Structure 1
Amino acid sequence: MIEKLEYLLDSLATAVIVIDDKLRICYANLSAQSVLELSDNQLVGFPVSQFISHDSLSLDRLGAALKSHEGFSDSEILLAFCDGRHILADVTVTCFERNNSEGLSIEVKAIDQQKRISQESQQWAQQQAARELVRGLAHEIKNPLGGIRGAAQLLEKQLHSFELEEFTQVIIEQSDRLSNLVDRLLGPNSPPNFQWCNIHQVLEKIRTLVQLDSAYNIEIQRDYDPSIPDMKIDQDMLQQAVLNMVRNSVQVLSEQTYPGEILIKSRIKRQLTIHGVKHPLVAQIKVIDNGPGIPEEIKDTLFYPMVTGKSNGTGLGLSIAQTLIDHHRGKIDVESWPGHTEFKIYLPIDKKESTS
């Protein structure tokens, strides 16, 4: 009977963890082993606190449930594991009593995938609408700016007073400044120049550029996947996109009192859907820092133009990065919590046609 019960539990997509009255793991089905990324032998007999952070699933609350014999349910919990991973999950805790012993059954249903797809679709539509709005406004601003600058230049020729010419110079300089800002809002105005190359060459250029800046005492580490094949990309566009993210991390870390660390990491992902299109192979580039995290109030609008969490930021770097990655049919995701921010770029890997 017990074997049949375990067989049924192992067939569930929901992770099930059974703990005793000492909060030690008695059983974990296959889904739970997959979520925790540990085998049954590595889990059974060990305290649940050894694997799941106290902050995300309160041990005090589990202890209270045992005493009161009342379970509880929570939706959309950011479940933190002690190895640093996070998942979004619905959690249900149920009390039980068997053979004069008490325990708890913890059901964990990961909802990262469906929530991420839903959020991605919604945010993509919002970003596209915001981008079109900004483009329309930028064009409307740029046309009169040219007229203002030209009028100031004509007026300057008619003036014979150095003091008055200073005012026309201010008009010209400020018009140029606004024109440059509008150009940045519009993004790149040239089509991509796609060529086959190794993305790690691009990442190494970025690492070298940042390390040469001795103004910041920030350690930049790398963890590359050598199995990623050559990809058809615009090297300048990809370099600018990743560099914007690395510089964003550098600026945030430079304001902290503790040592700053940035990790540039590459991996291959399989069968990944990007903007509704499923790709067999995708290159993932991560820029990870140990900064304070992204403020909660700007997380959902982080890639919108003029949105920034920095006092001296323009809010254009990530917006431009998003546009550049869009040219590659890719996407950018971000995960952040205090002490950890992770930007993830996904780029489809096309099959290189044989030239023979």
Structure 2
Amino acid sequence: MTEYRPVCASSSGFEAFDTLATMVAVVKPDGECLFANAAFENVMRLSRRAVERSNLYDWFADASRLSDTVRGVARNAYSSSRFDAMLRRAGRQFEDLLPVHVIVSQMDSEAQVLVELIENAQQNRQDREERTLDQVQATKELTRNLAHEIKNPLGGIRGAAQLLAMELAPTELGPELAEYTQVIIHEVDRLQSLVDRLLAPHRHAPVLGDVNIHEVCERVRALILVEYPRGLKVIRDYDTSLPDFRGDREQLIQAVLNIVQNAAQALQSRIAEASSEEPACIRLRTRVARQVTIGKQRWRLALELHVEDNGPGVPAEIRDRIFFPLVSGRDGGSGLGLTLSQTIAQQHQGMLDCESEPGRTDFRLTLPLP
């Protein structure tokens, strides 16, 4: 009988599993991990070496069913089995679990079993992202066309108001009516500024160059700390292995600044109470992601920039519309900052999305890497 030797990731056909978006692991019946694909590594937030040195059963809240199923498949009691389970991720609290659908299948060797894990929320998230991209694209076209239609008559209205003010000036009613003409001019200027902001991302072609995401983060961090010198803590959590990529540095700074300013504004009350037991905190976290789907296109590598805050969260009634123009969660907000950030992300073939609950809001900017 040929002696069985564990197959390592670098010497077999297991590398093909790296092209899959779902998590795949090859294990022994006792749970020892022989191989974990890139998606598994990404979700677990661990290096492949660390995963392959571990026991798969240790990553589950209740591994008894998984253990029984893997052993049953290994001894050919059945060829495959499916069930739901809760996966524990590295660096997470025990209570914070990831629901997954588990598929256990046979392999050619009885000493190897294939375990595939599918995030229950993954398909829902992809569907939501596709809907969001379609909605944002349609809204962007509508907004741009509407802005052009509004912009054209504004100049005429402002010019007419100025001429009217000049005609009225020599008359007895001139001083009394001057206030009204000034109101017209002021409101036209305000609308002109709003239209300019709506059209800003479409007016200039991106100025492409090599961009380091951490230089972008540091610039934004410096700007926000100037605006909020006390009461706000901005934490760096960088993956310094991320490579440079091609992009418009100034546009990306503006996109990230809009997101961070939005987070800081959500923390206004906590910033004002600088003595609070839980200080206002924004975390800038960068990570690499593998086999990422953005819209309908697949990328082998992407960077993820997370802007996390410990504020009250996005109001539930606008959570699905947060990136639409003129939708704001605070009084006096223009509702354009996040819309512009989403547009800039899409111009870089990326995506901006948000997960929010009371006490934690996470804006995630995903950009493809070469």
- The reply to whether TM is greater than 0.5 is yes
| Aligned partners of 2:305 and 2:365 also within 8 Å | yes
Aligned-residue offset at 1:138: 1.5
- C-alpha distance in 1 between matches for 2:321 and 2:101: 25
Aligned residue among 140, 146, 151 for 1:142: 151
Are 2:276 and 1:252 aligned?
A: no
Q: Distance in 2 between matches of 1:278 and 1:186?
A: 29
Aligned to 1:151: 160
Give the structure 1 partner of residue 254 of structure 2: 240
Q: Which letter does structure 2 place at the counterpart of 1:156?
A: A
**Cα distance change of structure 1 residues 109 and 117 upon mapping to structure 2, 3 Å threshold:** closer
Counterpart residue number, 1:228: 242
What is the correspondence of 1:259-298 to structure 2 with a 5 Å cutoff? 259-298=279-318
Give the alignment partner of residue 128 of structure 2, picking from 119, 128, 139. Answer: 119
1:166 aligned residue = 179
Comparing 328-337 with 239-248, greater Cα deviation is found at 328-337
What letter is aligned with 2:315? P
Q: Structure 2 vs 1, CA of residues 214 and 295 (structure 1 numbering), >3 Å: closer, same or farther?
A: closer
User: The residue matched to 2:210 in structure 1 has which SS?
Assistant: strand
In structure 1, the residue matched to 2:9 is none
Q: Percent identity?
A: 42
Instruction: State the distance in 2 between where 1:217 and 1:130 align.
Output: 37
**Structure 2 CA distance for partners of 1:149 and 1:216, relative to 1, 3 Å:** farther
Q: Structure 1, residues 318-350: CA drift from partner, whole Å, max 9, x if none?
A: 001001111111111211222111111111122
Partner of 1:82: 93
- In the alignment of these two chains, the number of paired residues is 284
Q: Paired residue for 2:223?
A: 209
Q: Is the 8 A contact 1:155 1:168 kept in 2?
A: yes
CA-to-partner distance for each residue in 1:288-322, whole Å, 9 max, x for gaps? 11112222221211100111211232211100100
Question: Contact 1:187 / 1:323 at 8 angstroms: preserved in 2?
Answer: no
Distance across 2 between alignment mates of 1:261 and 1:222: 11
Distance 1:332 1:89 in 2: 24
**C-alpha contact 1:332 1:343 (8 A) present in aligned 2:** yes
Q: Following superposition of structure 1 onto structure 2, how do residues 310-325 of structure 1 map, counting pairs within 5 Å? A: 310-325=330-345
Provide the C-alpha distance between the structure 2 equivalents of 1:136 and 1:89, rounded to a whole number of angstroms: 44
Shift in Å, 1:88: 5.6
What one-letter code is carried by the residue in structure 2 that aligns with 1:233?
A: G
CA distance in 2, matches of 1:86, 1:335: 16
Moved more, 211-220 or 226-235: 211-220
Q: Distance in 2 between matches of 1:29 and 1:172?
A: 74
Q: Per-residue deviation at 1:213?
A: 2.0
Greater shift, 82-91 or 219-228, is seen at: 82-91
For normalisation by structure 1, the TM-score amounts to 0.70
**1:133 aligns to 2:142 (yes or no):** yes
- d(CA) in 1 for partners of 2:349, 2:61: 45
Aligned-partner Cα distance in 2 for 1:349–1:119: 23
Answering whether residue 326 of structure 2 is matched by residue 306 of structure 1, we say: yes
Shift of residue 40 of structure 1?
Answer: 5.3
Structure-2 change in CA distance of 1:28 and 1:249 (3 Å): farther
Q: CA deviation at 1:270?
A: 1.6
Q: Secondary structure at the match of 2:269?
A: coil
Residue 218 of structure 1: aligned partner: 232
Could you report, residue by residue, the CA deviation over 1:123-144 in whole angstroms, capped at 9, with x for unpaired residues? 1111111121222222221112
The answer on whether the counterparts of 1:253 and 1:260 sit within 8 Å (CA) in structure 2 is yes
Distance 1:192 1:86 in 2: 41
Whether 1:347 aligns to 2:367 is yes
Partner of residue 194, structure 1: 208
Consecutive unaligned residues in structure 1, runs of 5 or more: 1-12, 16-26, 49-72, 92-107, 351-356
Q: Could you tell me the TM-score, scaled by structure 2's length?
A: 0.68
Q: What runs of 5+ residues in structure 2 fail to find an aligned partner? A: 1-21, 25-29, 63-82, 103-116
Alignment partners' CA distance in 2, 1:223 and 1:14? 25
Relative to structure 1, the CA distance from residue 125 to residue 341 in structure 2 (aligned partners, 3 Å threshold; closer, same or farther) is: same
Looking at structure 1, the residues matched to 200 and 295 of structure 2 have their Cα atoms a distance apart, in angstroms, of: 21
1:178 to 191, 196, 202: 191
Residue type of the partner of 2:152?
N
Report the Cα offset of residue 162 of structure 1. 2.6
- The CA deviation at 1:86 is 5.7
SS in 1 for 2:266: helix
For the residues of structure 2 that align with 1:206 and 1:247, how far apart are their CA atoms? 9
Cα distance in 2, alignment partners of residues 85 and 171 from structure 1: 56
Work out the CA distance in 2 between the residues paired with 1:135 and 1:174.
20
CA contact (8 A) 1:216 1:254 kept: no
CA change 1:196–1:308 in 2 (3 A) is: same
CA distance in 2, matches of 1:83, 1:206: 33
